[in-house]
C-alpha cells in the first residue's frame, strides 16, 4: 500500500461521519417491546428466588432418627397434637391450670427418667406466685399464677450463672397450637435432646414453661420477681408467636449486648432476622407484646426475642390448630433453638454479661442463607463511608463526562442538579402514589381488598410506585435536548441522582440513631462498586455499555430489598385485620410496598430509557393498576374475608350494666352488646346479613359523659378504640354466670382531711376497677403501686386496675385514702367502676342466637361481662 492510499484510508476512518456512526451504534436503543420484558424479568426473579427461599423449610426428622442427638420434629409434633387438643387454655381454668400442667409434668418426668444421669442433674419446680406491676396505661394485680420451671445442670454444678428459655402454654380464643404450643413443644424436645446426649454444658439452663402470658405477661413477671433461680439467670431466649407455621424470626435482641447476635450467627442453622423489625416493634407499631418486656424490665437481663410470624390470620382464633403447621416448621425452629441453646449454655460471656454490654447491633439475614451482623458503631462508619464514597465517585464520573464530551464540569454539575431534583420527585412519587391509592380506596369504603388476595398488592401499590419512579424521568428524557453530552451520560447522571438520595438518607438516618439505615446502604454500596468498576475501565464512556455491570450489581440488592419488605407485608397483612378501625392500615401496607419498590427498583427503572418508547412501560403499569382497582372494587377478589382462613375479627361483650347512685339506688340497669370491630370496615360487611343491628349506636357520646363510657372495657384494645365502639341494646336482661360482689369493709377518718375506704371484691377470674376522684378530691394513698398513683394515665382515662385470679381465688382486698381539704364527706368523693369478665363461661340462649346470625367468615371473640358503677 503506497502513502497516498494510506492517507485516504486514515482520513475515511477518522471522518466525522464515521465517528458519528460509531457513536450512534453505541448509543442505539433496544426495541420498545424489550422494556416491559426488562421489568418482568425482575418480577420473575422475585417469584423464582425470593418466594421459594422465604418459605423454604428443612426436611422434618422422624422417630427413626432418634439417637443421633438431633431435634426430632415428629416427636415434637406428637406432643403438640396432645397439648393443642386440650382446647382453649385460658389461664385460671382447669384446661390450663390442671390438664395442660399435668401433661407437661408427665412429659418432663419421662425426660428425667431417660436422661444421662452421668452428665446432668434435673430439677422440676411447679410453683405459684402473686404480684402486681404497671404496663402501659393500666395496673395489673394477679394471684396464684402457675409456672413450671425446669433446671438442667452439669453434674454437681455449683455455677451461679444460668441461661433462661421461656415460652407460654396458655392460649386465648383458640387451642393455641401456634401461639405458643409450638414453642412449648420445641422447648420440650430441646430439653430432651440435651438431657439424653453426651454433650456437656457449662452453665445450667432454666426452661420456663409459662402458665400465663395472654392475660398480660403475668407469669413471666411472677418468675422473674419471685423465683429463687431468677436472680441467677443472666440471659434469656424468649419464644412466642404472632402466627402459625413457617420460620421463626429474631425481632428483638440485647439491648446493648451484641455478643448475643454473634452467638445467633454461629449457632442458628436457618437465620431469619432484621434490625428493622426490632425498631418497628419497639416503636409500638405491632399490636402485640411478649414476655421479653418483663425479663428486660424486672430482671435487667439481655436476650433474644424470637417468634413465629407467618399466617397471622389464625393468631388468637379457634383456627390456630395443629392442622396448619407443617412439620418442617417445627424442624426449622427446633434446629435453631437447639443449636442456640447449646451455644449460649457454653458461652463465657454469661459469666459477666455486664462486661460485654457494648452497644446495639445491626443484623439481618439474606434469604435465610447467610446472616450478617456488626456493631452499631461499625454501622455508622460503614454508612458514612459508603455515602461519602458514592459522592466522591459521582464527582469523578462527572469529571470524566466533562473531559470526554469536551464541556465544562460546571455544565455537567448543573445537569446533575436538575436530574437529581427529578429523581427526588420520582422517589417521593414512588412512595406517595401507593398512599394515594390506599387513601382513595379507603374513602370509598374499600379497605383491606388485599386481605385474602395478596396478589392485588402488586397492582394496587407496586405498579403505582413503579409509575411514580419512572414517569418524571421518562418525561424529562422525552423533552431534553442532549446536544452537549450523550444520552447514556444523561442516564448515568440520573442514576447518580438516585445514589445521592440514598447517600443522604443513609447519612441522615444514621445520624438520627436508626440502625435500619442499612436498608439504604445495601443498594447504594453495590451501585458504588459498579460505578467504580466502570470508571476503572472504558465501559463508563462506551455508550450504554456501563449498564451491564449495573444490572448485575443490582441483583443482590433487589433480592434483599424485595425479600425484606415482603417479610413485613406478610407479617403486617394479617395485623391489618386486628389493629382497630381508627386507622387506615392500608396506608402502612402501601408505604411498605412503595418503599420496598423504590429500594428494589430505584437503580433499575431508569434503565427503561435505554429502550425505544419507554412510555409503553408506563402505559402497561397504568393499565395494570386500573385493572387491579376494578378487580378489587367490583369483584369477589377484593372482598377481604374468607371462612377459616381470612376471617373478619369481631370482639364484643354480652354486657349487663348497673349504675348505683350515691344513696345506693339504681339509676340504670341495661343489657346489650358492646361491639368492637377490629378492622377498618367495621359493621359495613354485616349490612344485608342476618345480624340484627337494630338500635346500634356509637359509644362516642357516652364516652364524653361517663367514666370509661360507662362500660366494662376489657383491655387496652377496648380502651384505645372506645370511640370507635358500638352499643346494641337488648330487651332481655343478661344474668351474670356468677356474682361479682364489692363489699365496703370500712370507712374511717385518717385525719381531718383524709378518709380511708377499705373494700373486698369477689367474682370471676378476671375483674377490672376504674377509679376516678371528684375534682376537689385527691387519692393520696392506696394498696396498689404508688408509681401508678403518681403517674396516672392521660385524661380522660381514669386509673385502671386489672385483677386476675389463677389458682388462688381468695377475695381481693384493697383500700383508698382520699384527701379533701374542705372536709365535706357527705358528698361523692370518687367514682368506682367494677367490671367482671366471664371469659370461660357459656353465653345465654339469646346471646347464642345473636352469635349464630353472623356470617361464616366472621370470627367472634365474646363472653358475658358485668359492670357496676358506684359513687362513694
Whether 359 maps to a domain, the answer reads: no
Closest CA to 224 of 216, 240, 236, 242: 236
257 and 383 part of one domain: no
Q: For 651-699, what is each residue's pLDDT tens digit?
A: 999 999 999 999 999 999 999 999 999 999 999 999 989 999 999 999 9
| In 55-126, alpha helices (H) | 73-85, 94, 101-114
pLDDT, the chain, mean: 93
Q: What is the pLDDT of residue 26?
A: 55
Asked whether the predicted pLDDT for residue 560 surpasses 90, the reply is yes
Q: Which of 610, 638, 666 is the last residue of a domain?
A: 638
Share of the chain above pLDDT 90, in %: 89
Average pLDDT over residues 364-379: 96
Q: What is the pLDDT of residue 397?
A: 97
- For residue 145, the surrounding DSSP H or E stretch is strand 138-154
143 and 242 part of one domain: yes
More confident residue, 26 or 24: 26
Whether 832 maps to a domain, the answer reads: yes
What is the band of 505 on the pLDDT scale with cuts at 50, 70, 90? very high
741 and 771 part of one domain: yes
Average pLDDT over residues 477-496: 87
What is the band of 156 on the pLDDT scale with cuts at 50, 70, 90? confident
Q: For 162-202, what is each residue's pLDDT tens digit?
A: 999 999 999 999 999 999 999 999 999 999 999 999 999 99
Whether 21 maps to a domain, the answer reads: no
Whether 540 maps to a domain, the answer reads: yes
Q: What is the pLDDT of residue 857?
A: 97
What is the band of 393 on the pLDDT scale with cuts at 50, 70, 90? very high
Asked whether the predicted pLDDT for residue 8 surpasses 60, the reply is no
Q: For 779-788, what is each residue's pLDDT tens digit?
A: 999 999 999 9
What is the band of 282 on the pLDDT scale with cuts at 50, 70, 90? confident
List the Cα angle 682/688/693 in 5-degree steps: 60
Grid cell listed for 251: 425481632
**What domain range includes position 413?**
37-52+377-638
Asked whether the predicted pLDDT for residue 140 surpasses 60, the reply is yes
- For residue 859, the surrounding DSSP H or E stretch is strand 858-871
Asked whether the predicted pLDDT for residue 20 surpasses 50, the reply is no
567 and 439 part of one domain: yes
Whether 2 maps to a domain, the answer reads: no
Q: For 614-647, what is each residue's pLDDT tens digit?
A: 899 999 999 999 999 999 999 999 999 999 999 9
106 and 127 part of one domain: yes
Cα–Cα distance for residue pair 812/809, rounded to 1 Å: 8
Share of the chain above pLDDT 70, in %: 96
Q: Which of 605, 638, 671 is the last residue of a domain?
A: 638
671 and 783 part of one domain: yes
Question: Which of the residue ranges 345-354, 479-488, 506-515, 523-532 would you say has the lowest mean pLDDT?
Answer: 479-488
250 and 272 part of one domain: yes
Q: What is the pLDDT of residue 628?
A: 98
Contacts 24+ apart (CB under 8 A), 384-388: 384/506, 384/507, 384/510, 386/503, 386/506, 386/521, 386/524, 386/525, 386/528, 387/502, 387/503, 387/504, 387/506, 387/507, 387/521, 387/524, 388/503
Grid cell listed for 595: 418503599
Query: What CATH number should be reported for the domain holding residue 224?
Result: 3.40.630.10
574 and 598 part of one domain: yes
Grid cell listed for 80: 403438640
Asked whether the predicted pLDDT for residue 4 surpasses 70, the reply is no
DSSP string, 662-715: TTS-EEEEEEEEEEEE-STTTTGGGTTSS---TT-EESHHHHHHSGGGGS---S
More confident residue, 306 or 26: 306
568 and 695 part of one domain: no
DSSP string, 121-142: EEEEEEEEEEEEEEETTEEEEE
Average pLDDT over residues 739-751: 95
Q: For 38-73, what is each residue's pLDDT tens digit?
A: 989 999 999 999 999 999 999 999 999 988 899 999
Q: What is the pLDDT of residue 481?
A: 67
Q: Where do we find the cell 409456672? A: 147
338 and 307 part of one domain: yes
Average pLDDT over residues 281-291: 83
By the 8 A CB rule, do 652 and 675 touch? yes
Grid cell listed for 51: 418466594
Asked whether the predicted pLDDT for residue 12 surpasses 90, the reply is no
Whether 15 maps to a domain, the answer reads: no
Whether 597 maps to a domain, the answer reads: yes
Whether 129 maps to a domain, the answer reads: yes
Q: Which of 611, 638, 665 is the last residue of a domain?
A: 638
Average pLDDT over residues 222-248: 96
3-class secondary-structure state, position 748: strand
Asked whether the predicted pLDDT for residue 159 surpasses 70, the reply is yes
The tally of domains found in the chain comes to 3
Query: pTM of the prediction?
Result: 0.93
More confident residue, 267 or 39: 267
101 and 215 part of one domain: yes
180 and 262 part of one domain: yes
Q: What is the pLDDT of residue 482?
A: 61
Grid cell listed for 384: 458514612
Average pLDDT over residues 464-471: 97
Q: What is the pLDDT of residue 157?
A: 86
Cα–Cα distance for residue pair 29/709, rounded to 1 Å: 67
Q: What is the pLDDT of residue 68?
A: 83
- For residue 375, the surrounding DSSP H or E stretch is strand 370-375
DSSP string, 716-737: HHHHHTGGG-EEEEESSPPPPS
Amino acid at each position: 500500500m503506497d502513502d497516498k492510499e494510506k492517507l485516504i484510508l486514515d482520513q475515511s476512518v477518522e471522518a466525522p461521519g464515521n465517528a458519528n456512526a460509531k457513536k450512534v451504534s453505541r448509543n442505539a436503543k433496544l426495541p420498545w417491546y424489550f422494556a416491559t420484558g426488562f421489568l418482568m424479568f425482575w418480577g420473575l426473579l422475585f417469584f423464582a428466588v425470593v418466594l421459594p427461599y422465604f418459605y423454604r423449610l428443612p426436611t422434618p426428622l422422624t422417630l427413626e432418627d432418634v439417637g443421633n442427638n438431633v431435634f426430632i420434629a415428629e416427636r415434637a409434633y406428637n406432643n403438640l397434637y396432645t397439648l393443642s387438643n386440650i382446647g382453649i387454655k385460658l389461664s385460671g381454668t382447669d384446661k390450663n391450670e390442671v390438664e395442660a400442667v399435668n401433661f407437661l409434668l408427665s412429659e418432663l418426668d419421662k425426660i428425667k427418667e431417660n436422661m444421662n444421669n452421668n452428665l446432668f442433674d434435673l430439677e422440676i419446680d411447679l410453683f405459684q406466685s402473686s404480684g402486681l406491676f404497671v404496663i402501659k396505661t393500666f395496673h395489673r394485680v394477679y394471684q396464684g399464677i402457675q409456672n413450671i420451671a425446669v433446671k438442667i445442670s452439669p453434674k454437681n454444678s455449683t455455677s451461679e450463672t444460668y441461661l433462661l428459655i421461656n415460652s407460654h402454654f396458655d392460649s386465648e380464643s383458640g387451642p393455641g397450637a401456634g401461639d405458643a404450643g409450638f414453642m412449648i413443644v420445641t422447648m420440650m424436645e430441646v430439653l430432651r435432646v440435651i438431657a439424653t446426649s453426651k454433650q456437656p454444658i457449662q452453665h445450667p439452663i432454666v426452661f420456663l414453661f409459662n402458665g400465663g402470658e395472654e392475660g398480660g405477661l403475668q407469669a413471666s413477671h411472677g418468675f422473674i420477681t419471685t423465683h429463687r433461680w431468677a436472680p441467677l439467670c443472666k440471659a434469656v431466649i424468649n419464644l412466642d408467636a404472632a402466627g402459625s407455621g413457617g420460620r421463626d424470626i429474631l425481632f428483638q435482641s440485647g439491648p446493648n449486648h451484641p455478643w448475643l447476635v454473634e452467638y445467633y450467627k454461629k449457632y442458628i442453622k436457618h437465620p431469619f432476622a432484621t434490625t428493622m423489625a426490632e425498631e418497628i416493634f419497639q416503636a409500638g407499631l405491632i399490636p402485640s407484646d411478649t414476655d421479653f418486656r418483663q425479663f428486660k424490665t424486672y430482671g435487667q437481663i439481655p436476650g433474644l426475642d424470637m417468634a413465629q410470624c407467618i399466617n397471622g390470620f389464625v393468631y388468637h382464633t379457634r383456627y390456630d390448630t395443629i392442622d396448619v403447621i407443617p412439620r418442617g416448621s417445627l424442624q426449622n425452629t427446633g434446629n435453631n433453638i437447639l443449636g442456640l441453646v447449646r451455644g449460649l449454655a457454653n458461652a463465657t460471656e454469661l459469666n459477666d454479661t455486664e462486661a460485654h454490654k457494648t452497644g446495639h447491633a445491626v443484623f439481618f439475614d439474606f434469604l435465610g442463607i447467610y446472616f450478617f451482623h456488626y456493631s452499631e458503631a461499625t454501622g455508622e462508619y460503614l454508612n458514612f463511608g459508603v455515602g461519602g464514597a458514592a459522592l466522591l465517585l459521582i464527582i469523578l464520573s462527572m469529571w470524566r463526562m466533562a473531559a470526554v464530551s469536551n464541556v465544562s464540569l460546571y455544565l455537567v454539575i448543573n445537569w446533575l442538579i436538575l436530574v437529581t431534583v427529578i429523581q427526588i420527585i420520582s422517589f417521593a412519587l414512588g412512595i406517595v402514589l401507593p398512599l394515594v391509592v390506599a387513601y382513595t380506596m379507603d374513602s370509598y369504603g374499600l379497605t383491606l381488598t388485599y386481605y385474602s388476595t395478596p396478589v392485588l398488592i402488586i397492582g394496587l401499590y407496586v405498579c403505582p410506585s413503579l409509575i411514580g419512579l419512572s414517569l418524571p424521568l421518562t418525561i424529562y428524557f422525552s423533552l431534553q435536548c442532549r446536544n452537549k453530552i450523550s444520552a447514556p451520560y444523561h442516564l448515568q447522571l440520573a442514576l447518580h441522582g438516585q445514589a445521592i438520595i440514598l447517600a443522604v438518607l443513609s447519612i441522615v438516618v444514621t445520624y438520627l440513631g436508626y440502625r435500619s439505615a442499612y436498608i439504604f446502604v445495601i443498594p447504594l454500596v453495590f451501585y458504588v462498586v459498579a460505578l467504580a468498576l466502570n470508571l476503572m475501565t472504558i465501559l463508563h464512556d462506551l455508550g450504554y455499555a456501563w449498564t451491564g455491570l449495573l444490572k448485575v450489581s443490582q441483583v443482590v440488592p433487589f433480592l434483599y430489598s424485595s425479600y425484606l419488605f415482603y417479610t413485613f407485608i406478610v407479617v403486617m397483612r394479617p395485623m391489618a385485620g386486628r389493629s382497630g378501625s381508627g386507622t387506615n392500615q392500608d396506608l402502612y401496607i402501601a408505604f411498605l410496598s412503595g418503599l420496598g419498590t423504590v429500594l428494589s427498583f430505584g437503580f433499575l427503572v431508569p434503565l427503561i430509557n435505554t429502550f425505544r418508547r419507554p412510555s409503553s412501560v408506563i402505559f402497561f403499569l397504568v393499565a395494570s393498576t386500573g385493572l387491579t382497582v376494578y378487580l378489587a372494587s367490583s369483584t369477589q377478589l377484593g372482598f377481604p374475608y374468607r371462612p377459616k382462613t381470612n376471617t373478619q375479627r369481631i370482639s364484643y361483650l354480652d354486657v349487663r350494666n348497673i349504675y348505683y347512685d350515691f344513696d345506693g339506688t339504681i339509676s340504670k340497669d341495661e343489657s346489650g352488646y358492646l361491639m368492637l370491630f377490629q378492622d377498618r370496615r367495621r359493621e359495613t360487611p354485616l349490612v344485608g346479613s342476618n345480624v340484627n343491628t337494630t338500635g346500634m349506636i356509637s359509644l362516642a357520646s357516652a364516652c364524653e359523659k361517663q367514666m370509661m363510657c360507662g362500660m366494662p372495657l376489657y383491655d387496652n384494645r377496648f380502651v384505645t378504640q372506645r370511640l370507635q365502639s358500638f352499643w346494641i341494646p337488648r330487651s332481655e336482661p343478661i344474668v351474670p354466670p356468677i356474682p361479682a360482689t364489692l363489699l365496703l369493709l370500712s370507712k374511717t377518718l385518717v385525719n381531718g382531711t383524709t378518709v380511708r375506704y377499705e373494700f373486698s371484691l369477689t367474682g370471676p377470674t378476671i375483674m377490672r376497677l376504674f377509679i376516678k376522684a371528684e375534682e376537689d378530691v385527691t387519692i393520696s394513698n392506696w394498696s396498689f403501686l404508688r408509681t401508678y398513683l403518681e403517674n396516672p394515665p392521660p385524661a380522660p382515662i381514669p386509673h385502671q386496675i386489672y385483677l386476675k385470679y389463677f389458682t388462688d381465688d381468695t377475695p381481693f382486698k384493697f383500700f383508698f385514702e382520699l384527701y379533701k381539704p374542705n372536709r365535706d364527706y357527705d358528698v361523692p368523693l370518687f367514682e368506682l367502676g367494677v367490671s367482671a369478665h366471664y371469659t370461660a363461661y357459656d353465653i345465654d340462649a339469646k346471646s347464642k342466637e345473636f352469635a349464630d346470625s353472623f356470617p361464616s367468615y366472621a370470627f367472634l371473640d365474646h363472653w358475658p361481662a358485668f359492670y357496676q358503677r358506684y359513687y362513694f
